[in-house]
Amino acid sequence: MATVYDAVVVGSGAAGGMAATQLCMKGLKVLMLERGPKFDISTDFHHHRKPYSYPFRGRIRPSERAIYNYAANEWNKKHFVNELENPYTGKKFVWVRAQAVGGKTLHWGLVSLRFSPQDFQAASHDGVGTDWPISYEDVEPYYSRVEDWIGVCGHANRLENNPDSHFLPPVPLTCAESIFKGQIEGKLAGRHVIHGRSAVVTTPRFHGRAPCHYCGHCGRVCAVAASFSSVGVLLPIAEKTGNLTTRTNAVVWKVTTDKENRAKSVVFIDRVTRQVEEVYGKVIVMGAGTLDTTRILLNSKNEDHPDGLGNSSGVLGKYFCEQIMAGDITGFIPRLKGNTNRGGDAHPDGGGIYIPKFRNLKEKRKDFVRGYGFEGGGGSSEFPGFANKIPGFGASFKEEVKKYYATVISIGSFGEVIPRAENHVEIDPVVRDTWGIPVLKFEVEWGPNELAMARDAVDTQREMFKAAGIEIINERTDPLAPGWSIHSAGTARMGNDPKTSYLNKFNQSHDIKNLFVADAACFVNSTEKNPTLTILALSMRTADYVAEQMRSGALG
Amino acid sequence: MNQGRRDALKKLAMGVGGLTTLPILGQAKTAAAAMPAMGMPEADPQSPANWEPQFFDSHQDETLIALTELIIPATDTPGAKAALVNRYLDLRYNEETPENQGEILQALAWFDGRSLSLHNKPFVSLTETEQKALLEPLAEPANSKAEDEPGVKAFTLIKSLTIFGYYTSQIGLDEELKYEGDRLNASFPGACTHPEHQA
């Protein structure tokens, strides 16, 4: 007789790792499936190595460029999928995927922003799309619990559309950031430049974790988990309960159902041996990441679910949303020329500055709905890319690079992409991945709202730099390709109406009561804010609900 | 980073090098105690004494050395030649795409072509003054002469590669820029301490 776990959780990152840990803590026996191996973050990555420690200076070597996505480098590359083994088709889309216990939390940017009350009811504000079936008040207790657990640093700014978290002390601003903040807030009403809100420990003691040591390279995988990762912070707790079983190298193919219309098992292929295995759970929780979760559910179609598992609504794969990286801008702060600070980017990722959304808060623009925020940072950074913009050559050029090193400031926008039914993913009828599993086909592109918003973001980035007296040296005015933000959301959205949504307000399938989706596939809209904090909060909320329902017998 | 600090870090790293795993939970760790055996540079892969170029021929290599050193010369710190930027570029271009390989060979050839027409000898045989005079119009942002266009493109490419190779080298990053990340810091070393910068 095969083991039947209380829950099988697919994925081990922010969503899967949180759901698995929370369920283990509630006393459930959990099997967590991860397609990649498990790395020891303390020894398997080398985030303090200097670029010159690597023959290709930390960049992916030319002969491996086709294998890795744009976010990979020599420090972190081993936790990403091989692009050649994991193709996808359709319109131009950049899909960054991890393949390791901890998922994308091994390299993520740490930016941690609560969604606002208006974000959950955006449709009521501007008439576009659909409200979430839950409100800020429903999620607030989970934001608080997550923050008290993982540690989020920042400054309480009391901004209506950017609710404060339970903050650890913020990372101090650099000279360039301080000057920029003073200029913008002094000259442009309604614009705020706030401390970055980042999931990193900035106090000497926090749940026994090592504090940040300000090396500046969390994305190269923090060896001491001062910055949050599922594998460094959550899963050790899950393991201590004795309730967690982790199956690595499990490339999930599909979820099966039984005659009573219950999710029965998860079928996966061992990444290495290529053998097919089937595991059983009383509850199945999907947390593979928005697009992989949806791919698995679409690939799980069967006689009873001909359009994909639990897809009687037909919305599975639809209403994809994310953030458009409209433009970015870099410049020099002239008065800082000659500044000798040499540690400007040695802050945690997600430190630096953030410019919260300032469009469509109260007013309603005619050219686009929703809005965008800017992430930014100023001061010296490891590689002086700006040097290409300094004219000349020789000793004077070299001296100028040094003098400008700490004067650099740059910001880049993240704008809300409106969920539209036609922006969708489906299963490619022909192409398979290396394991033989059908792949995703992307039918996603920017719409008029995104493009109008992107134009405005480019205008305002220039407006702010001019107002602040910054000498502009580089400007990107074309949006990066869809997917680039790695903030994919939607495609299995929640809602009160089973005809127009895939999940109910507890992340439970309308059609199959023991099937849950804990990741950002459940999002109704993406907002302009980075998704991970909300993924963690909603995954925790999902797990609480699963545990409560199992205890009461409602899940059978 | 100065030698003393490097040695101190090395000792620190070796002191905990025997640990195979680090307890992350359960006990508070100072950052220093948690420093695993990592972060120390491996031997510079571009520095064996008997090095020979694999992709460039020896003339192209010498041209590259001359150009990169003209762009970032030795001053109070060593320049691109001492930082072995040419060796990094040889390693890289040895496996670049044919398109990129062709681009850099064309760029190098352009300097010889201009040098031959001006002085009847290759670029590396010019005096430093002649070499600088050849480069100067190419580095002039306002230069829009059609006959200089391929040269401006060639110079811009070599300059960009020199910037990358030099400022990611130990000499460029540690000695010239004195970058303070990539290591253990007790507090954020970039913090602004100037009241006049703060709003």
Per-residue pLDDT tens digits for A437-455: 999 999 999 999 999 999 9
| Chain A CB within 8 Å of residue B175 CB | no
Residue A255 CA to residue A24 CA, distance in Å, equals: 21
What average pLDDT score do residues B127-152 get?
95
SS3 A22: helix
A282-339 confidence digits (pLDDT tens) = 999 999 999 999 999 999 999 999 999 999 999 999 999 999 999 999 999 999 999 9
d(CA A361, CA A371): 8
Confidence label for B20 from pLDDT (cuts 50, 70 and 90)? very low
Query: A208: which chain B residues are within 8 Å (Cβ-Cβ)?
Result: 24-29
Question: Which residues 63-82 of A are in CB contact (within 8 Å) with B?
Answer: 63
Tell me the backbone φ, ψ of residue A218, rounded to 5 degrees: -55, -35
d(CA A249, CA A269): 8
Residue showing tokens 């159902």: A257
Query: Could you tell me which chain B residue has the CA closest to the CA of A220?
Result: B182
Instruction: Name the minimum distance, in Å, from the CA of A384 to any CA of chain B.
Output: 7
Residue in the structure block whose two tokens are 């430049």: A193
Predicted ipTM of the assembly: 0.95
Nearest CA-CA distance, residue A311 and chain B, Å: 41
Is B75's CB within 8 Å of A48's CB? no
CB-based contact B167 A383, cutoff 8 Å: yes
- Whether B58 and chain A come into contact, CB under 8 Å, resolves to no
The verdict on B129 touching A (C-beta cutoff 8 Å) is no
* pLDDT of B15 higher than 50: no
Quickly list H helices, A98-173. Answer: 117-120, 122-126, 136-150
Asked whether the beta carbons of residue B188 and residue A204 sit closer than 8 angstroms, the reply is no
The answer to whether the Cβ–Cβ distance between A379 and B88 falls below 8 Å is no
B82 contacts chain A (CB < 8 A): no
The answer to whether residue A128 scores a pLDDT higher than 70 is: yes
Asked if B189's CB is within 8 angstroms of A341's CB, the reply is yes
Q: What is the pLDDT of residue A349?
A: 93
pLDDT of residue B36: 41
Mean pLDDT of A133-150: 98
Q: Over pLDDT 90: what percentage of chain A?
A: 99
| Contact across the interface for B38 and A47, Cβ inside 8 Å | yes
Mark yes or no for CB contact A57/B178 under 8 Å: no
Residues of B whose CB is below 8 A from A237: 25
**A337 φ, ψ to 5°?**
-55, 130
CB atoms within 10 A of CB B189: 23
Q: How many CB atoms lie within 10 A of CB A260?
A: 9
In chain A, which residues have their Cβ closer than 8 Å to the Cβ of B70?
Answer: 393-394
Query: From CA A178, how far away is CA A184, in angstroms rounded?
Result: 10
Band of the pLDDT at A265, cuts 50, 70, 90?
Answer: very high
Average pLDDT over residues A118-134: 97
Which residues from B are below 8 Å from A53, CB to CB? 40-42
Per-residue pLDDT band for A534 (boundaries 50, 70, 90) equals very high
pLDDT of B5 higher than 90 = no
Residue A202 has pLDDT above 60, yes or no: yes
One-letter amino acid identity for B113?
Answer: G
Mean pLDDT along residues A498-514: 98
What's the rounded mean pLDDT across residues A63-88?
97
CA distance A3 to chain B (A): 30
Provide the pLDDT confidence category of residue B44 given band limits of 50, 70 and 90: low
Both tokens assigned to A73: 């480098």
Q: Which of A233, A345, A393 sits opposite B135 (nearest CB)?
A: A393
The answer to whether A179 contacts chain B (CB < 8 Å) is yes
As a whole number of Å, the end-to-end CA separation of chain A is 19
Task: Please give the structure tokens belonging to residue B63.
Answer: 């041209």
